[in-house]
A and B are shown apart, each in its own frame.
Chain A
Amino acid sequence: MTSLDPRLNRVDIYKYQQELQPKDSMDQFETYEVFLQTKESKPYQHEGIVHAPNRDMAFLFAKEQFSRRGTCTGLSVVRTEHIMVSPMTDNDENVYDLVSVEPEKNTKKETYEVFYLFKRGKHMQHQGSVSAVGFHDAYIQAGATYNTGKTVLNVWVIRHDDMLFNTEDERVIWSTLSEKKFRDAIAYKALDKIKKFKEEQLASK
């Protein structure tokens, strides 16, 4: 059987279907949550996930899946299981009013990044970093600093070291994004062509 796609005629596509085996249970790997900063003045925001075998690969994948368009000044990936998540509250309730935790009894302080959700349907947004002795401590401290106005519906706390960020030097990988005009709607103007065609049609009548 030949395909209309010349690429497929170079491979015996039907042979693979015969050799099909059930997938290994982690065939598609773990997931990594992706955070993006589109401009230096804007906070990092959660965008989605990538499936990847490790954090380095996750970064490579996230860069193309989430920042191949628009602008990007910062990208970070972290394993889904490394994120501590608060319950999600209903709209008028602030999670800090409902969920109180006891801080851990450790002494070693680490940096934690804190994300809040202010409205269902929107994205988790970075509020800032806190120095804390554990996830609960970070949640409390973040509340003291960042729970200042809008109702917080949901909190994510992540150890900074669990997150892989691009270096300052690596920002250059996004430098040519704005030049790729072939993906801009504006590169496909054709009103003139339609107009010319219509005029020719009228003229020939």
Chain B
Amino acid sequence: MNEVAIKDLLYKMADDQLIIGHRNSEWNGLGPLLEEDIAFCSMAQDKIGQSLAFYTILNDMGESDPDTIAFTRNANQFHNCQLVELPIGEYDFSLVRHFLFDTSEYLRFDALAQSTHTPIAEVSAKIKGEIQYHVMHANTWIKQLGTATDEAIERMQKAINVAFPYALGIFEESKYEGDLITDKVFIGEHILRERWIEAIDKVIATTELVIPDLAAEEAHLGGRYGEHTEHLQPLLTEMTEVLSIDPRAEW
């Protein structure tokens, strides 16, 4: 098995989850309804916990320990897609991002549960239940807001229009895509994207919302290899503010 390819896969998945978990934690205590605040925070914790599981596999493969990997890299060393680093915006944007991203996660880990790389397969199988709830939550909100008031529909549509091209960046192919597919580590981003389009179309079809025309959209790529928006570095600077006071101390 191509270890470099596998580490590439692990880094991008873990970075995605860490960054989106971090973003979603910004709603902690500030949500639109107490119960939803609680639910959204649980999902953010799940994502961060999942990123920790993948950083742990990386550590087992010879990379640094999770705290070091996560808290001491700069923006151009991160492999998350640009979608997850965007600011939280209003609740419409955060929900739309949650829907688009978590649907891809569900399908990704459903596929990876069959991976020939055992540690990845095991983690993927284990987190299935968490992601099932995340998708249940996202689908319910999209379906309900997408058929609610004019204001809700307009807001959600605007959010989809902004988020969609960034969401396409989730499926930016790896340099090692061929090896990953050949070694049956992963089905590959191309197939994943197809399954994702089908899944989001199914949910959106039950609403007054529309998915932008795929042919007309230009995906925001680059995140997988260190090209990020102006939002990532400030996020990382904030996230690492306390640890940076003394990275070698025990906090």
Contact = CB atoms under 8 A, between A and B. Distances in A.
Contacts of B45: 180
A64 B35 CA distance: 8
A203 interface: no
A170 interface: yes
B126 A176 contact: yes
A52 interface: yes
Given A64-B38, A175-B126, A51 B132 contact: no
Given A10-B87, A56-B140, A180-B49, A61 B36 contact: yes
A64 B136 CA distance: 13
Contacts of A64: 35, 38-39, 42
Interface residues of A, number: 27
A179 B56 CA distance: 15
B127 A176 contact: yes
Contact of A7 (B30, B38, B126): B30
Nearest to A57: B140
A147 B129 CA distance: 39
Given A64-B42, A176-B129, A52 B87 contact: no
Contacts of A175: 126, 128-129
Contacts of B38: 61, 64-65, 68
B33 A51 contact: yes
A54 B137 CA distance: 13
Nearest to A170: B132
B35 A65 contact: yes
Contacts of B42: 64, 68
A172 interface: yes
Contacts of A60: 39, 133, 136-137, 140
B229 to A, nearest CB: 15
Pairs A-B, 10 closest by C-beta atoms:
A61-B35, A172-B129, A175-B129, A64-B39, A173-B133, A64-B42, A173-B129, A7-B26, A50-B35, A64-B38
Interface of B: 26, 30, 33-36, 38-39, 42, 45, 49, 87, 126-130, 132-133, 136-137, 140, 144, 238
Given A57-B144, A65-B38, A176-B130, 16 more contacts: A6-B238, A51-B33, A51-B34, A54-B144, A57-B140, A63-B133, A64-B42, A65-B39, A170-B132, A173-B129, A173-B133, A173-B136, A175-B128, A176-B126, A180-B45, A182-B49
